[in-house]
Amino acid sequence: MRIGAHVDSADPLAEAAARGAEAVQFFLTDPQKYNSPKPREDAELIRASEVDVYVHAPYIVNVASPNNRIRIPSRKLLMAHAKAAAELGAKGLIVHGGHVGAGADLAAGFVNWRKAFEYAESEGGLPLPVLIENTAGGDNACARRFDDLARLWEAVGSFGAGFCLDTCHAFAGGEDLIGIVDRVKAITGRIDLIHANDSKGGFDSGQDRHDNLGSGKIDPELVVAAIRASGAPAIVETPGGVEGQTADIALLRERAGN
Ligand SMILES: [Zn+2]
C-alpha cells in the first residue's frame, strides 16, 4: 500500500522524505493561473526516485465549461500538464471534474469532456493516465453526485479515463462513504487513487474544506475502509504541514495495514 501527501512543488522528494511518504502529489504551476509548466531541473531525480509521483492539474482547468474562453485554454493546459507530468515519470495527472455555469445544461459539460479527450488524441494522445476527481460543491458539477458521474463516464470511459476518489469531496458532496468503492467501481470500473481527507464541512454541505484525519466530520475508519477496498494508493491533502501530514500518513499505515 503506497501512502503519501500533497506537498509543495519546490522540492517534492525532500517533502516526501520529511513525511516518510511513499508517494507525493504536487502542482507544476500556480493552481489558479493558466501557466504552462516549465522543464524542472530535478526531473531526472524525480524520475529515478522510488517515490511514486502524481501531478495535480491547476484548479483553473475546467474542460467542461460551455465558455470557449475557459474551455479551450483548459484543454490546452491539461495537455501541457500531461506532457510535463509524463516527463517526471508521474503515474497520473489529477484533474477536477469541472462544472457548467449556473442554469446551463450539464449535458453540455459531458460533451465537452469527450471533446477534451478527443483533442488530446488529435495531439498525439495522453502520455499518462488522466484521473478525474470527484468534487464537493455546486449544483452544476460533472463529478459531484454519482448519478452525474455515471453520465460523465458514458462520455469519457472509452478514452481510458481514470478516477481519483476524494473522501472529503464525496462526504461534503453528499455521497455516503459506506460502500462507496463498490458504487464508484460500478460506474467507472476503476479507482486509481484515493485522496484521503477528512472534512471540516458536514455531510452534503458542498464545502471543500479538508481536515486532518479524525479531526473533522468523517469517521477515519471509513477512509481506511475506502483505501482497503480500492487497493489504490492514497494521498493525504490535509493541513498542518510536515507534522499534520506525517500523523495522517501514520494513522492510515497503522489502520489500513501494510
Ligand atoms: Zn482531492
Using the mean position of ligand 1's atoms as its centre, give its distance from the Cα of residue 237 in Å.
Answer: 6
Contact (Cβ atoms closer than 8 angstroms) between residue 199 and residue 218: yes
Nearest of 61, 53, 62 to residue 26 by alpha carbon:
53
- Alpha-helical segments (H) within the chain: 12-19, 43-48, 68-87, 106-122, 146-156, 167-172, 180-188, 220-230, 241-256
- Alpha-helical segments (H) within 94-219: 106-122, 146-156, 167-172, 180-188
Does pLDDT of 231 surpass 90? yes
C-alpha distance across the termini of the chain, in Å: 6
The pLDDT-based confidence of 102 (bands split at 50, 70, 90) is confident
Using the mean position of ligand 1's atoms as its centre, give its distance from the Cα of residue 240 in Å.
Answer: 16
Q: Quick check: helix, strand or coil at residue 235?
A: strand
Look up the domain containing 107 and give its range: 3-256
Using the mean position of ligand 1's atoms as its centre, give its distance from the Cα of residue 201 in Å.
Answer: 14
Contact (Cβ atoms closer than 8 angstroms) between residue 79 and residue 36: no
* Global confidence as pTM: 0.97
Using the mean position of ligand 1's atoms as its centre, give its distance from the Cα of residue 21 in Å.
Answer: 17
211: number of CA atoms within 13 Å, CB side?
16
Domain count of the fold of the chain: 1
Q: CA dihedral defined by 176, 181, 187, 192, rounded to 10 degrees?
A: 130
pLDDT tens-digit series, residues 62-93: 999 999 999 999 999 999 999 999 999 999 99
Using the mean position of ligand 1's atoms as its centre, give its distance from the Cα of residue 167 in Å.
Answer: 8
Find the length of the chain: 258
Using the mean position of ligand 1's atoms as its centre, give its distance from the Cα of residue 164 in Å.
Answer: 8
Using the mean position of ligand 1's atoms as its centre, give its distance from the Cα of residue 120 in Å.
Answer: 23
pLDDT tens-digit series, residues 152-165: 999 999 999 999 99
Rounded to 5 degrees, φ, ψ at 224 are -60, -45
Please report, for the domain that includes residue 240, its CATH number: 3.20.20.150
Using the mean position of ligand 1's atoms as its centre, give its distance from the Cα of residue 195 in Å.
Answer: 5
Using the mean position of ligand 1's atoms as its centre, give its distance from the Cα of residue 235 in Å.
Answer: 8
Using the mean position of ligand 1's atoms as its centre, give its distance from the Cα of residue 257 in Å.
Answer: 22
